[in-house]
Structure 1
Amino acid sequence: MTSSHRRGPRTADVSSAVESAAEVLTALWDRTQQTSRTRVSPSQMQALAIVERHGQINLNGLAAELDAIPSSASRLCDRLQAAGLLTRAASVHNRREVMLALTRDGRALLAEIGRNRHQALARILADMSPDGREALLTGLSEFNDAVRSAGADEPWEQHA
């Protein structure tokens, strides 16, 4: 263990503070999502974000990323399609494969929610001192690096 890991707050204290901040951030995310013109559930929002990240994804790929069974993902997509946020089409490579893509309204909804989140975060960050914002940025950057360095393993899984 390096000396930089021995000094400073105890890991348990930092874990508690991060957990508390994550709960507040999750509530903020939920509130900003509910301010949009089109209401979607958290699972629908997650599905839209996954489709956006991929551009197009097949139903089985979406189900895998949602950690859901394909029939549940299909019902979720039924609701998103009925709301005009998602399209389904047969793959050009395999007609039995269903490909999912966002509609213009789906992209607009994600952009609107993203703007709402950005504005809400900016208001909160403006209340912090410049030193506090700098420390937060440094800490979050190190946190992201630590998560990435975990590689293929999920950092929340216990290792033998």
Structure 2
Amino acid sequence: MRQADPLSPEVLDDLEAGIGALLVVWGRSTERIKPKVSASQLRALVVVDRHDAITLTSLADELGSIPSVTSRLCDRLQAAGLLVRAASASDRREVMLRLSKDGRRLLRQFRRERQADIKEVLGAMSPRSRGALLTGLGAFYAAATELGLPDEEPA
């Protein structure tokens, strides 16, 4: 990448290319998990995993969706055995969502595959380049967090 004004169009183009490659590597891991799930289903599983239990409404909010669409998404995840629905102990009208045993297994497999894919690319880099990448990503993460951007695992 060029050493120039960090906000120049050329540098931003280089960054977009690097981030694009990272997204391709990141996405490859979803191709090898079983059962197959869509990106939106995987994202829902990741969100549910961050909570011991979450309401359908809260999940819809975190996904930026509406409850009816999220409910259909959860129907498919439940039918696949990846999600469990139960009435809330405090409010029987409220539906609580939890990962099933198979849902937790699928996310573990996804994370292992994703780490293996990243490790493969990092192994092709020089130690100096890996260090620079980690330093740069750490600084990027700190700046994003300082700006109040979400601090959550993407799917």
Tell whether the structures are fold-level matches, with TM greater than 0.5. yes
Q: Which amino acid aligns with 2:32?
A: T
C-alpha contact (below 8 Å) 2:81/2:103 kept by paired residues: yes
CA distance in 2, matches of 1:14, 1:96: 53
Measure how far apart 1:37 and its partner are.
2.0
Per-residue deviation, residues 35-61 of structure 1 (Å, max 9, x unmatched) = 112100000000000000112110000
Using the size of structure 1 for normalisation, the TM-score is 0.86
Q: 1:100 aligns with which of 97, 108, 114?
A: 97
- 2:55 is the alignment partner of 1:50: no
Q: 1:10 aligns with which of 6, 28, 50?
A: 6
Q: 1:63 aligns with which of 38, 60, 64?
A: 60
Measure how far apart 1:8 and its partner are.
4.5
CA distance in 1, matches of 2:122, 2:30: 19
CA distance in 2, matches of 1:128, 1:111: 26
Greater CA deviation, 99-108 or 23-32? 23-32
Q: Percent identity?
A: 46
Q: Which amino acid aligns with 1:113?
A: F
- 2:143 is the alignment partner of 1:146: yes
CA distance in 2, matches of 1:83, 1:120: 26
**Equivalences for 1:6-45 in 2 at 5 Å?**
8-11=4-7, 12-45=9-42
- 2:74 is the alignment partner of 1:77: yes
Using the size of structure 2 for normalisation, the TM-score is 0.89
Q: Give ranges in structure 2 of 5+ residues lacking alignment.
A: 151-155
Runs of 4+ with deviation above 4 angstroms: none
Q: Which amino acid aligns with 2:147?
A: A
Per-residue deviation, residues 7-44 of structure 1 (Å, max 9, x unmatched) = 84431333222322222222222221111121000000
C-alpha contact (below 8 Å) 2:54/2:98 kept by paired residues: yes
Which residue number in structure 2 is paired with residue 109 of structure 1? 106
CA RMSD of aligned residues (A): 1.6
Q: Give ranges in structure 1 of 5+ residues lacking alignment.
A: 1-6, 155-160
Greater CA deviation, 8-17 or 95-104? 8-17
